[in-house]
């Protein structure tokens, strides 16, 4: 796994931890009726963040298998997932805990980045540059 893949794996772990903590806090710390809308935002952000943490694990694994156009598409996928998660989930968390933000359209921009990231993943599968992972030494020998 290259350096970019390792960065994505670190970010995946951190995103997963934050998402689980946010979900727990939404369930237990935001149960008051006046926090219902904020609770929904935190729950939604946590769900998106957790799913996209798993997507970063996938990007980290795939990063080593692609070169040329396919590799570029995988790197684009990974970085768009990072940016989209930060913008989309970060906006929802901030709105839940701070209130309306002075910068409009950050959540839709983040959502758009996530959509484009998934499209880049699909594109990576059909572009040239995929190679099979090397078999570990002694593979197939028992």
What is residue 122's predicted lDDT score, i.e. its pLDDT? 96
Identify the DSSP state of 73. Answer: H
Compute the distance between CA of residue 142 and CA of residue 140 in angstroms, rounded to an integer. 6
The tally of domains found in the chain comes to 1
Q: What is the pLDDT of residue 139?
A: 52
Does a structural domain hold residue 136?
no
Helical H runs in the chain? 3-28, 36-63, 68-97, 106-126
Residue 22 lies in a domain: yes
Which residue segment(s) compose the domain that 117 sits in? 3-126
Tell whether 94 is covered by a domain.
yes
Q: Which among 1-5, 14-18, 63-67 has the top mean pLDDT?
A: 14-18
Q: Which residues contact 35 (CB under 8 A, 6 or more apart)?
A: none
Q: Which pLDDT belongs to residue 58?
A: 94
pLDDT of residue 64: 85
* For residue 67, pLDDT beyond 60: yes
Q: Is 66 left (phi over 0), alpha (psi -120 to 50) or beta?
A: beta
pLDDT at residue 20, as a whole number: 96
pLDDT for 130: 84
Is residue 120 in a domain?
yes
Specify the pLDDT at position 133. Answer: 67
Residues 116-141 have pLDDT tens digits of: 999 999 999 999 998 776 655 555 55
pLDDT in tens, 9-64: 999 999 999 999 999 999 899 988 899 999 999 999 999 999 999 999 999 999 88
83 domain-assigned? yes
Per the domain annotation, does 66 fall within a domain?
yes
């Amino acid at each position: 796994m290259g350096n970019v893949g390792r960065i994505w794996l670190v970010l995946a772990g951190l995103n997963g931890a934050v998402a689980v903590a946010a979900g727990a806090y939404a369930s237990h710390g935001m149960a008051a009726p006046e926090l219902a809308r904020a609770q929904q935002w935190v729950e939604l952000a946590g769900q998106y963040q957790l799913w996209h943490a798993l997507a970063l694990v996938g990007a980290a694994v795939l990063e080593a298998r692609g070169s040329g156009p396919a590799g570029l598409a995988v790197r684009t996928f990974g970085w768009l997932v990072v940016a989209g998660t930060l913008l989309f989930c970060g906006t929802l968390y901030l709105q839940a805990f701070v209130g309306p933000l002075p910068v409009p359209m950050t959540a839709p921009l983040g959502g758009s980045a996530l959509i484009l990231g998934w499209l880049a993943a699909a594109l990576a599968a059909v572009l040239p540059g995929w190679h099979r992972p090397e078999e570990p030494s002694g593979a197939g020998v028992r």
